[in-house]
Structure 1
Amino acid sequence: MTQRSETPSRYRWVIVAAAAGMLAIAMGQLVNGLSAFFAPLEQEFGWGRGEIAFVNTAGLIGIALGGIVMGFVADRLNVRHVILVGAGATALGMIAASRASELWQLYAIFFVAGALGGGALFAPLFAVVGGWFRTGAGLAIGIASAGQAIGQGGIPFANAILIEALGWRGALLALGLFSLVVLVPLALLIRRPEPAPAATGQTAAEAAPPVPLPRLVVLMGAAVLCCCSLMSVPLMHLVPLIQGCGIPAPQAGSVVFVMMITAIFGRVAFGRLADMIGAVPAYLAASAWQTALVFLFTRIDDLSLFYIFAPIYGFGYAGVMTGVLTTVRSLTPADRRASATGIILAFGWAGHGLGGYLGGLFFDLTGTYDLTFAVAVGAGVVNLLLVTSLFLMVTRRRRPGLPPTAVPYPAE
């Protein structure tokens, strides 16, 4: 009995693969999958691009709010049931959107799909993945997070092909049916890990949280708000910045695609780094990387230089989300992890919306992207200060003699 409970189960890699696949399909649709639908919706209904863009914003608001609620639910009920709800809501949302004829209908559909779909998948899935790994959780979370990066690059590309073949309604319907067929079976693979052996007195002492959970949520929430405000600026505004240099839209879009491909490897690499040096230092390193480099986008005006620089930036920026997830995993108890992740990541989704909006506002006011990217650097500096303070808290309260990579909750 002891041997079985202490030996890592091979099923944990099934969990990682299922989570990566679900995040690729669901988050690829809900985070930026709408980008391919701007032109056809504009042509058919005459809606402005700002009005269409708010469909995506409604989905992100849904993910933020739904993640809080569904995180609490996942901590208390069967997590597979929660994830099944997320799978079904994501798929049915796309099917319902294919029948929409009014703008408010798309707002409502994407908000519900975000709340019950993305909100029920994102935080619970990462909490489950982290719980299956008593060691090496950083690499596992990095791989699952890379699935999301694949989806954010692949789903918009697939949508463009589907729209050309089937029209925008047919594309949404096909996407919804595909999601239903794939997400539901993957959700059925998800289950909680077997409980770990009872902790000894020494282990229980080591498991005492270095930062009280309410303080951690506030500190991490503020840090994530800032780092996601920064990262949303190049994600939303790099293409128009490149176009402002006289470079056509297809080439400008290809720069972002190359950056996102590199981000896949960055998410995995920083997950492995978290296993080696600790979650908080890895988060700090990724945050410093994107803060130091992001403004340099405004100093480039040559396409070949964009192709060189964007992957360099993308590799490090991608580690930020992995750093956030591994840090939450390492500093929260298993029975509160999904709810804590949901609350903290709600600040992240808010940061994405805030940074993208302010970036456009500052450009409208100044006619250049210099202020936009400078404010992004300022948000990154604040994030660095907050993460550094968190690192100092963890360092001061760690028991003497623990190795640098030790985490407060080594077993689930």
Structure 2
Amino acid sequence: MKRCYPWIICVVAMIMLSISNGMTMTGITAFDSSLLEEFGWSRGALKFRDMFNLLLAALLSPFIGALIDRVGVRALVLFGSVLLAILYVAYSQISSIAHVYWIHVGFAAVVVSSGLSVAVIMVSQWFNTQRGTALGIALVGSSLGGMLIPKLITALLPAHGWRESFIWMALLPVALFVLSLVLVRTPQRMGLQPWGHDHPRTAKQQAASQWPDLSYRQALCTPTFWALAVVAITTFWAIMSLSSHLILHMRDLQFSAERAADGMFLLFGLGMVGKFLFGFLADICSPKRVFVCNVALMALGSLILASQRAELLWTGLVVMGLGWGGLYAVLQLQIVDAFGLGSAGKILGTISLMDATSAGLGIWLSAVMFDHFGNYGVAFAVMAAMVCTGLLASLFVRDERRLAWEAGGREGRAPAATS
């Protein structure tokens, strides 16, 4: 049991992300048609909730590193799961758009306390080696949420209606609370060593162990930080806009509710495959090459979807899903590898501030574009342009820890690790 505990933590992180992401951002879109029919809101008004949610989460994200250091990941996950259950019960009682916006204020707290940054730190604490594979497994959770939550909601709606379905869905975060209470621990708390602490190191790993962690201030002064930020900003705009509007887009194309849920299942199912596949490849080949390949796949997929041809929709979803899944995992790995774990919480939080802001704006503005033009043609063209910009930025990513070490060597000294 103790020997396998790091991998158990990966599974817990995966379940956490599937519930928190799926129920606050991607899967919840399965309720959109019911809400629009019930209240008659415009898509721009409804999707403003997602921008509201993500912008608030973005504002909170830079503080998550300090919060993790103060209270630990376990307390944050427990808080987020209880809050999510309460908010879903509250969603079942809404009667105005203002109620929706207030609930999504709470969703922002859920995204921060039980989301990406917490999952990355939780898993990274348990792994010295095979971190790419471990993060790939954990981050599969965001895809599982996008795959399964819409299917579950679609199955509940005919028999229970949207109000009662919200109450049934609240049972999922309750289960997450129990699971986290029992299993989430740090290696130090259990008296264990991270995975790979006793594995013989390769020459590359031995060299990397001497490279200093960059401080938050140092990271901000590197081109790699800003290149990664641009990639995150552009790709999050695209994938969040696509996933948030996909069910409505497919319904506009006369697909049934079940087929629209299948579209989400395919997009996030291939994302799940991409996370594991490319996380594994990043451990055995150049992480940067894998990273650039992922952004290139997303660019190709977004261009196919921008053609607005119904017969190419499924192909575009396959390519986009694979590219996004891999990028989602390898982007986090690139951040940790480039700058180290010393200030990883702050760095991840700052990039999360940028990408969540972009994602929120993308979701809302795509809805506004639909309301103005009557279709998603312009919105999808903007998505494609954003990802192509991210592809160019991905070429400027460097290994900043190695470069800092080499610079110190040229000055006749070994740089000290910084926090």
Residues 252 and 292 of structure 1, relative CA distance in 2, 3 Å threshold: same
The alpha carbon displacement at 1:234 in A equals: 3.4
**Of residues 307, 325, 328 in structure 1, which corresponds to 2:335?**
328
The alpha carbon displacement at 1:153 in A equals: 1.7
**Of residues 198, 204, 210 in structure 2, which corresponds to 1:205?**
210
Say whether residues 1:27 and 2:21 are aligned partners.
Answer: yes
CA contact (8 A) 2:50 2:364 kept: no
How far apart in 2 are the matches of 1:256 and 1:231? 12
Say whether residues 1:215 and 2:221 are aligned partners.
Answer: yes
SS at match of 2:128: coil
Correspondence 1:73-88 to 2 at 5 A: 73-88=67-82
How far apart in 1 are the matches of 2:403 and 2:260? 46
Aligned residue in 1 for 2:412: none
CA contact (8 A) 1:22 1:183 kept: no
TM-score normalised according to structure 1 size: 0.82
CA contact (8 A) 2:26 2:243 kept: no
How many percent identity over aligned positions? 23
**Of residues 290, 314, 324 in structure 1, which corresponds to 2:298?**
290
How far apart in 1 are the matches of 2:256 and 2:34? 20
The alpha carbon displacement at 1:14 in A equals: 0.8
Aligned residue in 2 for 1:60: 54
CA root-mean-square deviation: 3.3
**Of residues 353, 360, 367 in structure 2, which corresponds to 1:346?**
353
CA contact (8 A) 1:142 1:272 kept: yes
Correspondence 1:2-401 to 2 at 5 A: 9-115=3-109, 117-122=110-115, 123-194=117-188, 205-209=210-214, 212-215=218-221, 217-238=225-246, 251=259, 253-299=261-307, 301-303=309-311, 305-362=312-369, 371-391=378-398, 396-397=403-404, 399=406
How far apart in 1 are the matches of 2:370 and 2:44? 15
Residues 68 and 162 of structure 1, relative CA distance in 2, 3 Å threshold: farther
How far apart in 2 are the matches of 1:12 and 1:393? 28
How far apart in 2 are the matches of 1:260 and 1:316? 11
How far apart in 2 are the matches of 1:321 and 1:280? 13
How far apart in 2 are the matches of 1:173 and 1:366? 36
Instruction: Give the residue type in structure 2 aligned to 1:205.
Output: Q
CA contact (8 A) 1:91 1:177 kept: yes
How far apart in 2 are the matches of 1:46 and 1:170? 20
Residues 214 and 129 of structure 1, relative CA distance in 2, 3 Å threshold: same
How far apart in 1 are the matches of 2:106 and 2:247? 29
Instruction: Give the residue type in structure 2 aligned to 1:121.
Output: S
CA contact (8 A) 2:9 2:123 kept: yes
The alpha carbon displacement at 1:249 in A equals: 6.2
Residues 105 and 306 of structure 1, relative CA distance in 2, 3 Å threshold: closer
CA contact (8 A) 1:210 1:331 kept: no
TM-score normalised according to structure 2 size: 0.81
The alpha carbon displacement at 1:368 in A equals: 6.3
Residues 246 and 96 of structure 1, relative CA distance in 2, 3 Å threshold: closer
**Paired residues, what number?**
390
How far apart in 2 are the matches of 1:288 and 1:158? 32
The alpha carbon displacement at 1:361 in A equals: 4.6
Residues 398 and 313 of structure 1, relative CA distance in 2, 3 Å threshold: farther
